[in-house]
Amino acid sequence: LDDIVSQSYGENAKFHVSQYDVRVSERKGAPRTFPEGHKVVETYLGGHALPSWEKGTMDKSIKASVLEAIHATESAAAGQVYEECTDPPYNALAHQDGKGVVEDIVAVLEDPSQPRLLIFNGIEDLICNHVGNEKALENLPWSGQTSWIEAQRYAWIPFPDSK
């Protein structure tokens, strides 16, 4: 994928396609500024300084309730810093590379408490394999498989009224 992204506009181009949204161009070697506001979220959840090039603010008065809603109060109390794609969690899980999660997902889906499970891919996301993920989900061996396969599909528009 790295080769595809880096050469997406030609080997000598100053820009490349964003692996997170194929509609966006990013300058090679520059800090990623897309999606807009992602550094604000990192700052909000991680408690570190907002980069000088990022604009935006978040209401810190609701931080405790947000952390509680995403089950992150313990990590905040332990001083863990949230950053997208940071190396320590990746390195800590590297020994599990290639380990499947089918049994774990099925266990969640079959749990008597019937928790809701969201598996999300951005529709313009290059880094996610939409078709492969959809096929994998269709083939999960669980009691709700047929209903899930036959369920109506729709586009999720998070901010339908924004212009």
Model confidence pLDDT, tens digit, residues 64-115: 788 888 887 887 777 777 777 778 888 888 888 878 889 999 999 999 998 8
Domains of the chain, residue spans? 2-77, 100-150
Report the residue count for the chain. Answer: 163
Q: Measured between alpha carbons, how far apart are the two ends of the chain, in Å? A: 32
> What pLDDT is recorded for position 142?
92
Instruction: Please name which of 45, 50, 49 lies closest in space to residue 76, comparing C-alpha atoms.
Output: 45
3-state secondary structure of 15: strand
Model confidence pLDDT, tens digit, residues 24-53: 888 888 877 767 777 777 777 766 666 666
> What pLDDT is recorded for position 105?
93
| pLDDT bucket at 56, cuts 50 / 70 / 90 | low
Q: Give percent of the chain with pLDDT exceeding 70.
A: 87
> What pLDDT is recorded for position 50?
66
Report whether pLDDT(162) > 70. Answer: no
pTM beyond 0.85, yes or no:
no
Return d(Cα 33, Cα 94) in angstroms, integer: 27
